[in-house]
Structure 1
Amino acid sequence: KGRKSLISESRANKEIESNGYIKVVIEIEAKSETIAANKAMKALDILRSFFCIQCNSFSEIIGNEFEPINKIRLGEFHTLHNASGNVFENSFWYDTSCSKAKVYVFRDERNTVKNVRNIVNIFSKFDKQYKSIISDSMLRFVRAFDEKNQNIAILRAWGALEALAAPNESNCDSVTTRCAFIFEEYEYHKQILEHLREYRNRNVHAGQESEMAKTYGFQIQKYFKQLFLFHIRQQGNFKSIDEANKFLDLPADKDKILHLQSIVEKSISFRGYG
């Protein structure tokens, strides 16, 4: 109640709806309007990140370099309402940087919805700390690829990858090795990740930008997606994300890991634990 009139009063043009967008209603409890707005947007963006994991393109042969990578994006207008539906007039916000997305057509809507529901179900089973780290990385991921400036998107997306691969760590090398561990061609993917990390560092420290930025963005998205799905598929196998990362720190080479196994077995025998 009052949404249309509030938007009309707050905007110079006549548009009061984001045409082509689905209207989403989020029901929450909060102690203030600000807290309610933040909680609602966080919930929506996490759900949106699950859809973007499923729906975003893997690459782009011909496209607009200023078009954000995310397929599922927010509309221009957001309003806050009380339990009766009446709008809070001081809590209207209009996203001036909004980049209108094309209507997304699902290739297989039923399968996509099924996959997202499965992810939501598994995600809910993580303990509080594990879930908090994944949530933070998903928010960073989805908000990074809303960016029209692809160089900014890369910086933010790499931050999302770091937040998931090496939370609260300063060891940058661990990001590349842990992400590469997931893939059979370990050395190949490690080299790609090192190249992406070096480009990101040049961008941060020297402001160096590249026409290949969007391509790099798609590559970072690939590694983030696979790392996220690794945690989803392995839910229940690790007590914490630190334990999962110790697993990802293991050597990928067969001979090295078998040698490590033999040392552990000798240690078990020496301590008399066998």
Structure 2
Amino acid sequence: MDGVILIIDGRAMKKQVNIKKSGKRTHEIQHVVSKLVRNGKVNEKGGLTYFANDVGFDSTKTVVLLNQMITMGNAELMFDKGKIITKAILECIKNDREDADFFLSAMESILGEMQNTRESSFYVLTEISFDVNICMRREWVFDGCKLTLSESFDDMFNSRKIFLREKHCYGESRKYTHVTVKVKSKTPKGALAKGIRALNIFRSLCCFDTYNVDSVIAGHLAHVNNLRIGRYQTVHDSKGEVFRNCFRHNEKFSQERNLVLFEKGEAGVIERNVAHHLSSISNCKYSNIIESALVRYVSAIDECDSDISIVKLWGALEQILAHGESNCDKVPDRAAAVFHNDVSIKEWVFNIRDYRNKYIHEGESGDLSSNLKCRLSYIFKWVIVSFLRKKKNSVNDVLVILDFASKGNEYLMLKEDEIREARELIGTGS
């Protein structure tokens, strides 16, 4: 159903609401929609109220199930799918309809109306665990966002303190650098997603040069990223007022005792590298794929559990080196090609893949997982740098080059001879 064009209110629109698939099987939503419609009614305020008309009916669990069976694509980052489902069920009840097609059409129409709203300016506030006085640039503008680093938040955002105090949210560090991300979005939820994504891209590029920290966890030496995001993230309007219903608590937050601190010369190098990478990404024709992989990368190295980190890192590497492919057998060869067909790199990737597969399918883990995590992070970094340097029209164009390079000089020389002979035929043909 993806890519279907709908006509809504006389306008042609691409279908955004679709039923998810499990493998080749499409989920069956009809019985779930019917349950919600049969057990729902319009209350006095025009809202939706559920009652147990069916024996054993649980509205909360049923709505969660329906939520899991439907996708709105990228729109889910900006709009509350649960609220749209509720409105669509209301439309079904008002029109005495419980068929899935009507429900999906109602969702599509409601989503379309929401998307017609204009974008507004929002601010996303959080913290990051490095010293603001590290001689790095204080303002960064990229991907439609303005990221500002400072010792404290502007007074216009005082509602954040009050809000966090009311929610009994404590544990922010005064030593952390305060981060304000200015974004344009149609909703506070969309602003939060956009702002955190921008910060994570920035963090990932910083980690290319700073991720070399050894920490002792449960008696074992582990490589852990200590350039971390703060405990709380809040969203504010253009006047600084906090949105109380749009708040994120980083449940994996752990206080960094030692903030990331660079020498003046080192900070200058890191700043130039980050600026260069951001510039390369902005000029890249497949920047969305690069950015998505970077977000997955920094999420992976944030993990203290090296096994989970390896699984996430492998997913980020696959997103680049096996883009659009179901078979990932070429990943080791392509990774090695980035390093001039280094056999040791190929062996590292093969072994990491085997380790990852055994952990997922058999639950096996080993004492060397921290080393594998660190090595995979290093390989990922240079794969990203290589893809940015190539400046091709698509990821697949770069993969073609890597596939050729992975076959070695003898193969390339043979192909050159064949191409030369083919050109001679064309030149002499009539």
TM-score under structure 2 length normalisation:
0.59
| Residue 5 in structure 1 maps to residue 162 in structure 2 | yes
| Residue 133 in structure 1 maps to residue 312 in structure 2 | no
CA distance in 2, matches of 1:211, 1:51: 28
| Residue 164 in structure 1 maps to residue 315 in structure 2 | no
Identity of aligned pairs, percent? Answer: 27
| Residue 241 in structure 1 maps to residue 418 in structure 2 | no
Classify the secondary structure of the residue corresponding to 2:236.
coil
CA distance in 1, matches of 2:206, 2:365: 29
Q: Which one of 135, 147, 151 corresponds to residue 303 of structure 2? A: 147
CA distance in 2, matches of 1:144, 1:22: 22
Classify the secondary structure of the residue corresponding to 1:103.
coil
Structure showing greater radius of gyration is 2
Q: Which one of 245, 250, 270 corresponds to residue 112 of structure 1? A: 270
CA distance in 2, matches of 1:240, 1:96: 37
Cα gap change, 1:33 to 1:68, in 2 (>3 Å)? farther
Q: Which one of 192, 217, 223 corresponds to residue 373 of structure 2? A: 217
| Residue 71 in structure 1 maps to residue 229 in structure 2 | no
What's 2:249 paired with? 94
Classify the secondary structure of the residue corresponding to 2:178.
coil
Structure number with greater CO (CA < 8 Å, separation at least 6) is 1
What's 2:64 paired with? none
Q: Is the 8 A contact 2:338 2:383 kept in 1?
A: yes
CA distance in 2, matches of 1:228, 1:210: 28
1:105 shift after superposition: 1.3
Q: Is the 8 A contact 2:333 2:341 kept in 1?
A: no
Unaligned runs of 5+ in 1: none
What's 1:24 paired with? 179
Greater fraction strand: 2
What pairs up with 1:171-186 in 2 under 5 angstroms?
A: 171-184=327-340, 186=342
Q: Aligned letter for 1:249? A: D
CA distance in 1, matches of 2:194, 2:421: 51
1:19 shift after superposition: 3.4
What's 2:80 paired with? none
RMSD of the alignment, in Å?
Answer: 2.0
Classify the secondary structure of the residue corresponding to 1:80.
strand
| Residue 83 in structure 1 maps to residue 238 in structure 2 | yes
1:267 shift after superposition: 2.0
Q: Is the 8 A contact 2:284 2:388 kept in 1?
A: no
| Residue 208 in structure 1 maps to residue 364 in structure 2 | yes
The one-character-per-residue Cα deviations of 1:102-141 (angstroms, maximum 9, x if unpaired) are 30012411111111111111110012xx111111111110
What pairs up with 1:26-65 in 2 under 5 angstroms?
A: 26-57=181-212, 60=214, 63-64=216-217, 65=220
The one-character-per-residue Cα deviations of 1:193-249 (angstroms, maximum 9, x if unpaired) are 1111111111111111112111110011011011011122222xx221111100000
Which 10-residue stretch deviates more, 191-200 or 154-163? 191-200
Unaligned runs of 5+ in 2: 1-157
CA distance in 1, matches of 2:247, 2:318: 33
CA distance in 2, matches of 1:176, 1:33: 41
| Residue 121 in structure 1 maps to residue 279 in structure 2 | yes
Cα gap change, 1:266 to 1:63, in 2 (>3 Å)? farther
CA distance in 2, matches of 1:228, 1:116: 13
CA distance in 1, matches of 2:316, 2:396: 17
Classify the secondary structure of the residue corresponding to 1:167.
coil
Which 10-residue stretch deviates more, 143-152 or 184-193? 184-193
Q: Aligned letter for 2:398? A: A
TM-score under structure 1 length normalisation:
0.90
CA distance in 1, matches of 2:189, 2:334: 38
Cα gap change, 1:273 to 1:248, in 2 (>3 Å)? farther
Cα gap change, 1:4 to 1:69, in 2 (>3 Å)? same
Q: Aligned letter for 1:231? A: F
Classify the secondary structure of the residue corresponding to 1:91.
strand
1:43 shift after superposition: 1.0
Runs of 4+ in structure 1 deviating by more than 6 angstroms, as ranges, are none
Cα gap change, 1:93 to 1:239, in 2 (>3 Å)? closer
1:185 shift after superposition: 5.1
